[in-house]
Amino acid sequence: MTMSILLFLIGILGFVLNRKNIILMIISIEIMLLAVTVLIILSAYSFDDSVGQIYSIYIISIAGAESVIGLSILVAYYRLRGTISLGWLKQ
């Protein structure tokens, strides 16, 4: 449980501190989803529950789809603007 809390905090810090780099923001979101998935897997294992394990597989597949959609938006943004810098965002 401590590992999942630590991963979630790393994800939050990565998202908040790297507001100008879109790739690191996507990676931080993936780390947060991984932390939640690890917590669900650990609780499902401790309660001997197969529904939690199936739910964690669902979360992993949704995280992969979210990553693909985010990266495709990033590629489209790069083709439109010529850069992926988010310098116009204010912290």
Give pLDDT tens digits for 36-53: 999 999 988 888 888 888
CB within 8 A of 36, min separation 6: which ones?
A: 4, 8, 59
pLDDT of 35 above 90: yes
pLDDT of 19 above 80: no
**Section 2-27 average pLDDT:** 88
Spatial distance between the Cα atoms of 74 and 84, rounded to a whole number of angstroms:
7
Q: Which domains does the chain have, with CATH numbers?
A: 2-81 (1.10.287.3510)
pLDDT of 88 above 80: no
pLDDT of residue 66: 85
Burial environment of residue 90 by CB neighbours within 10 A (0 to 12, 13 to 18, 19 or more): exposed
pLDDT class of 87 with cuts at 50, 70, 90: low
Residues in the chain: 91
